[in-house]
A and B are shown apart, each in its own frame.
Chain A
Amino acid sequence: MGILSRKMTAAAVGAAIIGGVVLPSADAMAAPARPSAPAAAANAQGIGVDAFSHVLDITKTILDAIEAANKLKENRPGYVKSLLEAAFNAQELHENYNVMVINTGNKFNFTLNNVVYDAVAHDSGYPDFHIYVFDSGRFENQGKGGYENWAFRGWFDRPGNAGVVDFHKKG
């Protein structure tokens, strides 16, 4: 069983130290090499690591990795909307066009008119996102929703708050 699969234990440790007091686990006390070193590390986000053997203690590194991953997840809607706002507000476009940003891993269909910009944004922390800037048309997201997967702005009807969006020209 790998360290990262022990999530339940790790979460329990996280809950236990919110007051700022950390008690080394029984494993830590029994460890011969570094008896005083902490075996459990966690922070207030409820994430943590139980180190069952730490001749070389890389717990801080593992904890940092979990925290970084959580932070990426938490800020993913912000990343998607930063792409959306950049396209919508771009100086050259004068807020005259509809914009769709969607995870390239999603299944989607579209019929768009007068596409003035079509690109894929890459960021090592996130999936690729496709950006379409256009006058009008229909877009259907057949995959996952939520701002972490798609975001759009402009002039549109979206019946039932579902995956089909009918965009019309600004006017």
Chain B
Amino acid sequence: MVRKLLAAMTLTAFALVGAGAAPALASVRTTHNPTVDIVSDRTGGGLGPRIGGAISQLAEDNQAQLVKDSIDKAFHLAGQHYNVIMMNLAQHYQEQLNNKVLYANIRWEGIYYGLWVFDDGHFENQGKGGYENWGMVGWFKKNNGVVDFSKP
């Protein structure tokens, strides 16, 4: 999103330099909803579709907010009984999670994320960090890109 913001600034500069340019170009920030595919759901009680539905209704204008809101939705809808992690699948990662009760593919603006809801385990982000690339909520110890989750 940083890139988009900078691109918007560029357009602003155009609007200022070029008298004929439409000034409204730079200020419009559009939101987009993610597409959510629940790949596996062992939560029971229709929780998977509820989580998928809630995330697909998120209208976001940047990656970081999408990640924050998605993990928050999943965590709270799952009754705060499970850990949740979301990862930009274009990055390198290693997933060794136990008792995964839900996995979903989330696509937003051409970016592919994985969302895991689970009991405990180990996860390594071997790529870029930041909320635009990953986020987690639950009970864990984090050391840079390495996260060890424990049961609540």
Contacts and interface: CB of A to CB of B under 8 A. Distances in A.
Interface of A: 17-18, 20-24, 34, 36-38, 41-45, 71-72, 74-79, 81-82, 85-86, 89-91, 95, 125, 147
A147 B88 CA distance: 13
Contact of A78 (B3, B14, B21, B111): B111
A75 B10 contact: no
Contact of B3 (A43, A76, A90, A95): A43
Contacts of B46: none
6 contacts: A43-B7, A75-B112, A79-B89, A81-B112, A147-B90, A147-B92
Residue from A43, A72, A78 having most chain B Cβ neighbours under 10 A: A78
B70 interface: no
A3 B112 CA distance: 31
A20 B12 contact: yes
Contacts of B42: 91
Given A77-B89, A78-B89, A89-B103, 12 more contacts: A20-B10, A22-B13, A37-B18, A44-B3, A72-B110, A78-B112, A81-B89, A82-B114, A85-B39, A85-B105, A90-B39, A90-B40
B103 A43 contact: no
- Name B's interface SS: mixed
Residue from B88, B89, B107 having most chain A Cβ neighbours under 10 A: B89
Interface string B32-58: 000001011110000000000000000
A38 B17 contact: yes
B3 A45 contact: yes
Contacts, number: 91
B130 interface: no
Given A44-B6, A72-B110, A78-B89, A86 B14 contact: no
Interface string B85-103: 0001110100000001001
Contacts of B19: 36
A86 B90 contact: no
A134 to B, nearest CB: 19
Contacts of B18: 24, 36-38
A22 B3 contact: no
Given A22-B17, A77-B90, A78-B112, A86 B105 contact: yes
A74 B3 contact: no
